[in-house]
Structure 1
Amino acid sequence: MLAMTIKCHNTLALLIFIISLSFYENDVAKGDNLGASFIFGDSLVDAGNNNYLSTLSKANSPPNGIDFKASGGNPTGRFTNGRTISDIVGEELGVPNFAPPYLAPNATGKVILNGVNYASGGAGILNATGSLFVNRLGMDIQVDYFNITRKQIDKLLGSANAREYIMNKSMFSITIGSNDFLNNYLIPLLSTGTRVSESPDAFINDMISHLRAQLTRLYEMDGRRFVVANVGPIGCIPYERSINQLKENDCDDLADNLATQYNAQLKDLLSQLNDNLHGATFVLANVYDLVSEIISNYAKYGFRTASTACCGDGGEYAGIIPCGPISTLCSDRYKHVFWDPYHPSEATNIILAKQLVDGDKTYVSPINLRQLRDL
């Protein structure tokens, strides 16, 4: 009987050891994964925050989300047919779940340790941007909300562990700036006063000054790994091509020149922050050149068109009326660079994300996002 008892204890001890070893091996396997992804920005990366706002900027109706497998093809508030670029980057870097929208009821408790999405359709760097949509979460508000999340993580992990987790296991992704031009400086009639009183130089300087303060606030809340996207070739989106009645291969010069000018200053800003904020790494995602490459050589990437929206109506490129339940919908969504008048399709987002995760300095510098994760 005693021998049997000893044998049982030995068997139990061995079982516990094997289980413990299994958990340890799993933890080691997960060691290369990103802990948390905190996402800030506009409709390019909004995962549904605007669903919870009284706003004119919403994507919570079909066919938006038609290819988003996690929802069974139902709309989630993402302004595309499937995953956003941030969703795909998170998957590539090993984040176990999509970061929930900050305003969603389930964005509480331990869920936030995988990250939170603060992005909002219509948002800009400047607080006035997107006012025509009535409500949106501008970048200042998004940073305010992260401050609340930061305190919640303190309570979950304890202040010392929380600081280590934010500094060493988290990435901060910022995709913003397009709306400051499209839905602020370039709006006919509404922006005339601003454009008369403020030169492009002054307006862009204002944007850079605000963004510097916003990024510095995130650093002061222990953010250390940052990826900041520049503004894409907004003069080439179906909306701009439609309202300006451009030829298929032409882009609006005013919008593109503003984006190019801002992007040059953003590059300088990130270089300064890398020099001046100890321990931080700011990576520039050169979305402008990457999207321009896809638009110029769309057939090489398997697309049929880089000018016409898959979902939308109005003008030659279906670029005036946003995507909604009664919109014209293309038959092959993966052959379109653009999903709607403003936003890329999931097929485009996949190309963008994979270049940023594993690409070279042509499109992501000084290091790519996998290298940023592994610092």
Structure 2
Amino acid sequence: MSEAHFGVNFWLAGRMLGIPYLPAFADPATVGTRVLNGVNYASAAAGILDETGRHYGQRFSLSQQVVNFESITLNQLRTLMNGTNLSQYLAKSIAILVFGSNDYLNNYLLPSLYASSSIYSPPAYANLLLNRYTQQILALYSMGLRKFLLTGVGPLGCIPYQRASGQAQPGRCVDHVNQILGTFNEGLRSLVTQLNANHPSAMFLYGNAYATFGDIINSPATYGFSVADKACCGIGGTYLGQITCLPMQMPCLNRSQYVFWDAFHPGEVANANLAWRAFSGSPTDCYPINVRQMALL
């Protein structure tokens, strides 16, 4: 379950776990035994809050993704296995949730379209998100899932869209955007500790996307990148209002040298680094254990 922007790439994470490409929930072919290896519920522009991303039109918010899992996928699984096998299957499954970025980029940081920034201070808004997030996580737990990766929000002030907004000096990230994310990320990490204490039969992980991606942006050459402040696609024009590559738009020729694919999204190589550190990294990358360790439980 996911939105877009920073986070663990599902395809890459699946490859590391030996799982085939996850079919999209909205694909009519995602039925029957095809769901046994997992389903990708990700929806562009969606967020923890139902209102997030409404200006883009139809999308599946977190709450709707949870409903989709319960009402469609879980019912399909019930027809494929008996109760005992289903309980064991769900307990061994890993739920990867990547949420929060859109609730800032497509809500809180758009005061012309959303009132959230005038209603809530950054800490109050983070608490609102965390409370709603907790409700949905516990709903998934009540359905039988027991292994969760909850990925934090990356340094959104460093994406090309924000850098091109004129809110920071050339070559600099928009610091105030990064600063308001702190309460959410710190709260999510604390939530993981609390959930593990309250639910000893389960395992909850916090993926530290902010620190991991911050390392890449601060030391791009270490990771094989030469461009960390511009996008591979869209580098010749404005980023404002542009979500991804437009039809007939020519991307850069050496995309592996760019941290960002477009104005908002990391490229495949950067995503691979994020996924690898969540999968096999230290507790600084993935707390309290990594995904590989959790998969063996």
Is the CA contact (8 Å cut-off) linking 1:143 and 1:214 kept in structure 2? yes
Q: By how many angstroms is 1:164 displaced? A: 0.8
1:126 counterpart (22, 41, 49): 49
> What is residue 152 of structure 1 aligned with on the other side?
76
AA aligned opposite 1:127: D
Gap regions ≥5 residues in structure 2: none
Q: By how many angstroms is 1:247 displaced? A: 3.4
Q: How many corresponding residue pairs?
A: 295
> How far apart are the structure 1 equivalents of 2:95 and 2:255?
30
Q: Report % sequence identity.
A: 37
2:35 counterpart (88, 97, 112): 112
Normalised by the length of structure 1, the TM-score is 0.76
CA distance change for structure 1 residues 237 and 319 in 2, over 3 Å: closer, same or farther? farther
Is the CA contact (8 Å cut-off) linking 2:159 and 2:229 kept in structure 1? yes
> How far apart are the structure 1 equivalents of 2:219 and 2:237?
23
1:217 counterpart (139, 146, 149): 139
1:293 counterpart (193, 215, 224): 215
> What is residue 148 of structure 2 aligned with on the other side?
226
Structure whose alpha-carbon radius of gyration is higher? 1
The answer to whether the aligner puts 1:43 opposite 2:4 as a matched pair is yes
> What is residue 51 of structure 1 aligned with on the other side?
none
Is the CA contact (8 Å cut-off) linking 2:45 and 2:56 kept in structure 1? yes
Is the CA contact (8 Å cut-off) linking 1:310 and 1:336 kept in structure 2? yes
1:311 counterpart (233, 239, 243): 233
CA distance change for structure 1 residues 129 and 159 in 2, over 3 Å: closer, same or farther? same
Normalised by the length of structure 2, the TM-score is 0.95
Is the CA contact (8 Å cut-off) linking 1:308 and 1:319 kept in structure 2? no
AA aligned opposite 1:240: Q
Is the CA contact (8 Å cut-off) linking 2:10 and 2:22 kept in structure 1? no
CA distance change for structure 1 residues 265 and 236 in 2, over 3 Å: closer, same or farther? same
AA aligned opposite 2:91: M
1:363 counterpart (258, 265, 285): 285
> How far apart are the structure 2 equivalents of 1:257 and 1:328?
34
- What per-residue deviation string (whole Å, max 9, x for no partner) do you get for residues 199-246 of structure 1? 222211110000000000010011101101000000000000001253
Is the CA contact (8 Å cut-off) linking 2:6 and 2:153 kept in structure 1? no
Match of 1:308, SS state, is strand
Q: By how many angstroms is 1:328 displaced? A: 4.0
> How far apart are the structure 1 equivalents of 2:166 and 2:191?
32
Is the CA contact (8 Å cut-off) linking 1:313 and 1:328 kept in structure 2? no
Q: By how many angstroms is 1:45 displaced? A: 8.5
Q: By how many angstroms is 1:270 displaced? A: 1.1
Gap regions ≥5 residues in structure 1: 1-39, 47-83
The answer to whether the aligner puts 1:246 opposite 2:207 as a matched pair is no
Q: By how many angstroms is 1:357 displaced? A: 1.0
Matches within 5 A, 1:1-375: 40-44=1-5, 85-95=9-19, 97-148=20-71, 149-168=73-92, 170-191=93-114, 193-244=115-166, 246-313=168-235, 318=239, 321=242, 322-375=244-297
Match of 2:292, SS state, is helix
> How far apart are the structure 2 equivalents of 1:183 and 1:287?
19
Is the CA contact (8 Å cut-off) linking 1:122 and 1:133 kept in structure 2? yes
* Higher normalized contact order (CA 8 Å, seq sep 6+, divided by chain length): 2
Is the CA contact (8 Å cut-off) linking 2:232 and 2:252 kept in structure 1? yes
Is the CA contact (8 Å cut-off) linking 1:309 and 1:339 kept in structure 2? yes
Match of 2:123, SS state, is helix
> How far apart are the structure 2 equivalents of 1:342 and 1:348?
13
Q: By how many angstroms is 1:90 displaced? A: 0.6
> How far apart are the structure 2 equivalents of 1:198 and 1:242?
26
> How far apart are the structure 1 equivalents of 2:167 and 2:119?
28
